[in-house]
Amino acid sequence: MSKVHSKRRAPNPTIRDVAREASVSVGTVSRVTSNNPTVSVEIRERVQFAIDRLGYFPNSFAQGMHLSETKLIGCLVSDISNPLYASVLRGSEKSLSAAGYTLVIASTDGEVTREVALLQTLVHRRVDGLMCVFSDEKDSRLLTALKKIKVPLVLMEREMGIRADSISTDHARGMADAVTFLLSLGHRRIGMVTGSLRTRSGRDRVLGYRRAHQSAGVSVDERLLRTGSLTTDYAFQETLGLMRLVKPVTAVIAGGNQMLAGVLRALGSLGKIVPTDVSVVSSGDTELAELAGPSITAIRWDLTSFGRQAAELLLRRLVEPETPPQHILVPSELVVRRSCAKPPADT
């Protein structure tokens, strides 16, 4: 086990090397790198020259020990392969980088353990702020970890019962519109697959579903609500289940944009034709919804704007830490396409 003996060849020049090279003191070099104006032009140039020659840059660790801000924003999403989050991230990144921040993205794959671990990692690395989508609002480990965090935090699509800014899509409203639409077409057995009720988005979708039924005076069959997980596979399985009921559903709502693929796959494997045999709505407008055959009626909201607003929420708090928490609700709209029709007559 060869541990290097003697001084290890320092791979990077230090501030001292620059100082020597430019025949000035380390203090002066520091002033130059931090753009302190109290340095004569002549010396500044000499130092800059030495910096370039040596390829010097300040060691960010040594720097981090003194500076309070790192200009780093951490972003935790449960699933990075969700194109929805990807678009949100883009919106955020644009605002953030314009303000001089760098976005560090961590994907947790929906595992709470990873979420907690990554959260810690980001905090320990001293990010200036955090933007998160957690997979479970009630998990105690997460809640405990969250309580200790002093870094400004923006919750996306979640409600953790902590004092923090948050931004969510108005899923309840969007879903109510969609269900009302299906109801008006004559559907009475509308299935929905969506994520856990332990997330705000899941709850809101169910809420909208119920409200629409109530407004229309139609009772809800609880067996038609499948709130297990936001994955494609889950959507596939539950759609199969929904179609195999003694009294099958005549419409399926994919409540989460990863779900649509699962729903369509299941329907396809059953040989069902959309919208003749069954109508489909997707909560979350994606390219798949737009370009599927037939195109899918979807609940849409502005992802980029969502991301931008989330970033602005954080940026504002970074400047004014004492403002009371803000909560933004992003509106959504129903985009009617070709996947919905009257239910088959013989049902």
Chain residues binding DNA by CB under 7 A are 1-3, 10, 14-16, 23-28, 30-31, 33-34, 38-40, 42-44, 56-59, 62-63, 65-67
Angle 341-338-89 from CA coordinates, rounded to 5°: 125
Angle between the N-to-C axes of helices 26-33 and 15-22, in degrees from 0 to 180, rounded to the nearest 10 = 110
Angle between the N-to-C axes of helices 171-184 and 200-215, in degrees from 0 to 180, rounded to the nearest 10 = 40
Three-state SS for 329? strand
> At its nearest, how many Å lie between its own copies and the CB of residue 86?
4
User: Which residues are within 8 A (CB) of 27 and not within 5 positions of it... i.e. 6 or more apart?
Assistant: none
E strands, 148-219, in order: 153-156, 165-169, 190-194
Q: Applying CB under 8 A, which of residues 26, 33, 48, 83 lies at the interface with its own copies?
A: 83
Cβ closest to DNA, residue 101 vs residue 181: 101
- Contact in structure between 280 and 254 (CB atoms under 8 Å): yes
Three-state SS for 57? coil
> At its nearest, how many Å lie between DNA and the CB of residue 314?
23
Is 293 a binding residue for its own copies by CB under 8 A? The answer is yes
Q: Among its own copies, DNA, none, what binds residue 319 when CB lies within 5 to 8 Å by partner kind?
A: none
Q: Among its own copies, DNA, none, what binds residue 271 when CB lies within 5 to 8 Å by partner kind?
A: none
Contact code string over 148-167 relative to its own copies, x by CB under 8 A:
x-x-----------------
Cβ closest to DNA, residue 42 vs residue 320: 42
Q: Among its own copies, DNA, none, what binds residue 241 when CB lies within 5 to 8 Å by partner kind?
A: none
Q: Among its own copies, DNA, none, what binds residue 39 when CB lies within 5 to 8 Å by partner kind?
A: DNA
User: Which residues are within 8 A (CB) of 329 and not within 5 positions of it... i.e. 6 or more apart?
Assistant: 167, 168, 169, 170
The strand pair at 297-300 and 333-335 is best described as: antiparallel
Is 121 a binding residue for its own copies by CB under 8 A? The answer is yes
Preceding amide of 58 cis, omega within 30: no
Among 302, 234, 265, residue whose Cα is nearest residue 87: 302
Is 65 a binding residue for its own copies by CB under 8 A? The answer is yes
Contact code string over 87-106 relative to its own copies, x by CB under 8 A:
x-xx--xx--x----xxxxx
Instruction: Enumerate binding residues for its own copies (CB under 8 A).
Output: 11, 55, 57-62, 64-65, 80-83, 86-87, 89-90, 93-94, 97, 102-107, 109, 114, 118, 120-121, 124-126, 148, 150, 261, 264-265, 268, 287-288, 290-295
